Structure 1
Amino acid sequence: MATKKRDPRDNLNPPIRTSEEARRLGARGGRRSGEVRRARRSLRDLALDIIDSPAPPKLAAQVRTIAPGLDEVTTGAVMLAGQVNAAANGNAQAFRAVTELAGVDGGGDAGEDRPWAADMALLIGRDFVDAHRGLASGEACDLWLPGGRGSLKSSFASLEIACGLMRDPDANALVIQSRRVNLRDASMAQMLWAFDRLGVADLWVPTGSTLRINNRETGQAVVFRGCDEPKKLKSIKLRRGHWRYLWVEEADLLRGMAEVRSVRQTVSRSPVPVQRLYTFNPPRTRDSWANAEVARVRSAPAPGEAVVDSCYTDAPPEWLGEQFVADAEALRAADPEAYRHEYLGEAVGYGAEVFPRAEVREPTAEELVGASMQLYGVDWGFSQDPFCWVRLAYDPRARALYVLDEVSGRGMSNAGAAEAVAARMRLAVTADGAEALPAEPFAEVWCDSAEPKSVADFRELGVRAQRAPKQGANSVRSGVRWLQQRSRIVVSPSCRLAAAEFPAYSYALDADGRATSLLPDADNHAIDAARYAVCTLVADRRFV
């Protein structure tokens, strides 16, 4: 039986009231309005009383260090001193608040529009002072900024762009990374940090799916794009103004100078010179196209080109934190070569090999004595790609990784693979004819999270399968870097797939035959299984 649809207007209050009802409601509203006004007056009086109240002795003593002539230090004076301190550290919003309160107009006429300014000397590392001056004068337009961890190169690039956008209301910026999926948590977060550091975060609003940060007053934009979406690079429309900045973050992950030139063409139609910044951690191999391009610019720079070297040792330690410095020192003591590459930004290898420290041989019983951890990982496969389970042992003191056992093959069902894995995990590891490591039949097995059904199947079949994380510290690049930093990777010849993959795995080449920093997604199934096996160690600072 059909029901009659209700008229939504039935929920409205009656439009007509009696005069008595109107007087009663009006009186009630008047009383409420008076209560609100009295509450506001009492809050205002309370705020004034707090501002005029004497400051605690400890805070008063701090204020007297910058204003020794004060007879009485109030809470208001402490608040003002905090704003002055923030302004001295480069916070433009605090600077404006203090100068407006003091009636200071910066030397101009009252009410005259003044250009935006920030003291960059307080915000950038000393390695970038000359680069900042070159960009400000217009002498520099193409800056290559290689550097290791903590070198402040990305901080400099984001601050330089943010400062330039604030000075020029017609300027816009394009920020590029190799893959779109990394933009929001990497370069976009970095630009938001820069606006906040300059004290103008309230003006710049990030959008949702369009990957932009827009200025709510001027309509300017910082646009973010990934090179894995070439069509979107060609269809960027600006609301107003012109391109002024191009920032290529993690430039070494692009596919060579041909792709760099393609990105440049996106912003080439601009009435003003576009300043282009390329930041990256130098690839391990000297044969990388990015390292080769930096070498070319060093030896024969074109007009406007320059290389800006930076290192964490030149950064103020308090900007990095005690833990960062401790991690760097720990790696320097444990593995000087990895330290030189990771933290000093040196290219320490030759050729395109990803794992130059991998060797295929049987580990000795003496080596396995220090292997206090056994780790297990699975990379799913069936027809085109093989299934692969690996058993690893890790010696944290020697930072040595051993690939001891493997189950691999094409056409394996989940049930057949789980049965084979469970059988292998019930076996102890032998070396030199004796038991070296015990069986661990109930240990966790970290699996590719892309197939939750397969993970569930393994659990039902008695294997403690877990979904390996893939984001942040457990990205492909981070996992491979962690493997690269081991003092050695010893692969048992019995692990046929791993023995074939680890020594042969190489970086992709560009059109000119130079190595890139791109990791091919092929012939790396045992390597992926090993990455998943060590996923709990990659994000743990104790296992640098």
Structure 2
Amino acid sequence: MAVVKLTECIAPSFYSAHKSVQSEKITHYWLKGGRGSTKSSFVALEIVLGIMEHPDTNAVALRKVGLYLKDSVYEQLVWATDRLGVSHLWEQRVSPMQLIYLPTGQRILFRGADKPKKIKSTKVSQGYIRYIWFEECDEFMGKEEMDTITQSLMRGGSKFDVFYSYNPPKSAASWINREVEAQALRSDTVIHHSDYRSVPEDWLGAPFLQEAEQLRQTNETRYKHEYLGEITGTGGEVFRNITQRIITEEERQSFDHIRRGLDWGYGPDPFVYLAVHYDRKRGKLYIFYEFYRHRAGFDEIASAISTENPNRSEVTAESAEPRSNDELRARGIHITAAKKGPGSVEHGISWLQNLNEIIVDPVSCPNAAREFSGYELERTADGSTWKSGFPDKNNHTIDAVRYACERDMKKGGVSVWK
């Protein structure tokens, strides 16, 4: 194999990621960034190098739509063999699409997720599939779809490397932007962000750099999203004061202004019970406990509330379900019905927006983290502006928090809850 210096192939921002691959301690690599960041080039190089180094391994490269395989991952991997000076050792086939390492017969296969049966039936004649690459993975329907694929492919081996490369969507509500925040908590996962500024200029060329600079000067927000890979938002985010992080046990022990609220649901809509701490002096709200269930029975609900709230402190509940509230009272839960009033939703959301910070623990409260970070205004039919009013969907935890903080939101001495 031709000797090629690492610095001649991989941009400096990927040196640490390369070391992680070499250490064999990491399984999942979420590689996000803007145009020209060379993240796809990095993945292609790692797969080619890995297969040549480990003779019992193979790879599968995927796109959501199979039609795009040839002009993206296939060409990128062909480029990698050429860049490493080993293209003479690889046979290129287009039908069926694959790259074959001639000395051993190892293969790089290509699959589109629009034909799931082909993925489930993917087999290799020798060794196992160690390397899995989801290119433009934000195009997939969600993490569950990709998990189904990896579960089919990750068989028969002791070490796997799964690469997810993508440009982050603008909206924090996008499933992949939310997912990566959760994945960052895993010990077997690397989250890597890159942009063109760490790439040698001669790799990109003068025209690319000129276009980037022109956009930076004329539309900085678009530049940040397209070239720096930043989540700039759509402009319709309702809560821009959200912080997602682990709330430590030490912090929890110090909470002395705990509020509790619940929002009723059973079938399509979930039942939600939340516990929060309101730090009035600093204008901060900590969301640290959630019970979020579909089709939960009264006994199950009462048990969950009693476990979190053994002292039977007050729980403010949605008032539209008086019989359900009575069922919980009969089971020893101290329920107070939220009071009605005009403009309740707008007033409550406005109060939450004006807090200095809303801290949500994404591990203990994943649904609250999802709903608060993803709650956005809706656009008009022509997409030119935003509809008035707040959308009444995907807001169950938001409603529970509004009820929990009812007494903190009093306006003129009158509660204004729906």
Q: TM-score range by the shorter chain?
A: 0.5 to 0.7
For 1:231, which of 111, 117, 123 is the aligned residue?
117
Preserved CA contact (<8 Å) 2:120 2:153: no
What's 1:319 paired with?
Answer: 203
Deviations along 1:466-518, one digit per CA (max 9) or x if unpaired, are: xxxxxxxxxxxxxxxxxxxxxxxxxxxxxxxxx8343499xxxxxx979xxxx
Question: Shift of the alpha carbon at 1:296?
Answer: 2.0
1:352 is displaced (CA, Å) by 8.5
Q: Which has the higher contact order (CA 8 A, sep 6+)?
A: 2
Contact 1:169 1:218 in 2 (8 A): yes
When you count strand as a share of all residues, which structure comes out higher? Answer: 2
- Show the counterpart of 1:518: none
- Supply the AA of the counterpart residue of 1:331: L
Distance across 2 between alignment mates of 1:134 and 1:206: 29
Residue 227 of structure 2, aligned match among 343, 354, 376 = 343
- Cα 1:232–1:130, aligned 2, differ >3 Å: closer, same or farther? same
> Where does the alignment leave 5 or more consecutive residues of structure 2 unmatched?
238-379, 387-392, 396-418
Note the C-alpha offset of 1:327. Answer: 0.3
Structure 2 equivalent of residue 207 of structure 1 = 93
Instruction: Report the CA distance shift for 1:226/1:513 in structure 2 as closer, same or farther (over 3 A).
Output: farther
Per-residue Cα deviation, 1:44-63 (whole angstroms, up to 9, x for no partner)? xxxxxxxxxxxxxxxxxxxx
Residues 150-229 of structure 1 mapped to structure 2, 5 A cutoff: 150-229=36-115
Instruction: State the AA in 1 paired with 2:83.
Output: R
Query: Radius of gyration: which is bigger?
Result: 1
**1:141 offset after TM fit, Å?**
1.2
Deviation at 1:120, TM superposition (A): 2.2
Change (3 A) 1:294 1:173: same
Q: 2:383 — aligned with what?
A: 502
- Structure 1 gaps, min length 5: 1-91, 96-117, 354-498, 506-511, 515-544
Distance in 1 between residues matched to 2:12 and 2:97, nearest whole Å? 31
Q: Which amino acid aligns with 2:230?
A: E
Determine the structure 2 residue equivalent to 1:306. 190
Given residue 70 of structure 2, which amino acid in structure 1 is its aligned partner?
R
- How far has the Cα of 1:157 moved from its partner? 0.5
- Aligned match for 1:330, one of 214, 224, 233: 214
SS of alignment partner, residue 172 of structure 2: coil
- Number of residue pairs the alignment of both structures matches: 248
Corresponding position: 1:293 with 2:174: no
Partner SS state of residue 185, structure 1: helix
Is the CA contact 2:196–2:228 (under 8 Å) kept in the aligned structure 1? Answer: yes
Q: Please list the CA deviations of residues 121-177 of structure 1 after superposition, one character each: whole Å capped at 9, or x if unmatched.
A: 331111111111111011221110000000110011000111111111221001111
Opposite residue 199 of structure 2, the aligned amino acid is A
- CA displacement at 1:282 relative to structure 2: 0.5
CA contact (8 A) 2:120 2:149 kept: no
User: In the alignment, what sits opposite 2:371?
Assistant: none
Q: Distance in 2 between matches of 1:163 and 1:513?
A: 45
**8 A Cα contact 2:135 2:164, kept in partner:** yes
User: 2:382 & 2:150 partners in 1: Cα distance?
Assistant: 36
The offset of 1:346, in angstroms, is 0.5
Partner of 1:486: none
For 2:154 and 2:169, the matched residues in 1 are separated by 28
Q: What is aligned with 2:32?
A: 146
Do 2:122 and 2:153's aligned partners in 1 also have CA atoms closer than 8 Å?
Answer: no
SS at match of 1:345: coil
Distance in 1, Cα, partners of 2:130 & 2:40: 18
**Displacement of 1:268:** 1.6
Distance 1:352 1:170 in 2: 50
Q: Which position in structure 2 is the counterpart of 1:532?
A: none
2: distance between equivalents of 1:352 and 1:262?
Answer: 32
| Corresponding position of 1:109 | none
Classify 1:321/1:513 alpha carbon distance in 2 versus 1 (closer, same or farther; 3 Å): farther
Aligned 8 A contact 1:153 1:310 in 2:
yes
2:381 corresponds to which letter in structure 1?
A
Give the residue type in structure 1 aligned to 2:383.
F
TM-score (norm 2): 0.56
Distance 1:339 1:203, change over 3 A: same
1:266 Cα deviation from its structure 2 partner:
2.2
Instruction: Map Cα deviations across residues 310-351 of structure 1 (whole Å, 9 max, x no partner).
Output: 110011111100000000000001100000000000111148
Residues 338 and 209 (structure 1 numbering): CA distance in 2 closer, same or farther, change over 3 Å?
same
The structural deviation recorded for 1:211 is 1.4
User: 3-state SS of the aligned residue for 1:196?
Assistant: helix
Identity across matched positions, percent: 38
Instruction: Please show how residues 31-430 of structure 1 align to structure 2 within 5 Å.
Output: 92-93=1-2, 95=3, 118-298=4-184, 300=185, 302-350=186-234
Deviations 1:57-86 (A, max 9, x none): xxxxxxxxxxxxxxxxxxxxxxxxxxxxxx
Seen in structure 2, the aligned counterparts of structure 1 residues 160 and 513 have a Cα distance that, compared at 3 Å, is farther
* Distance apart, 1:217 and its partner CA: 2.5
- TM-score of the aligned structures, taking structure 1 as reference length: 0.44
Q: Deviations over 1:188-210 (max 9, x none)?
A: 00000001111111111122321
**Quick one: distance in 2 between partners of 1:352 and 1:179?**
29
Cα gap change, 1:287 to 1:351, in 2 (>3 Å): farther
- Over the aligned positions, Cα root-mean-square deviation in angstroms equals 2.3
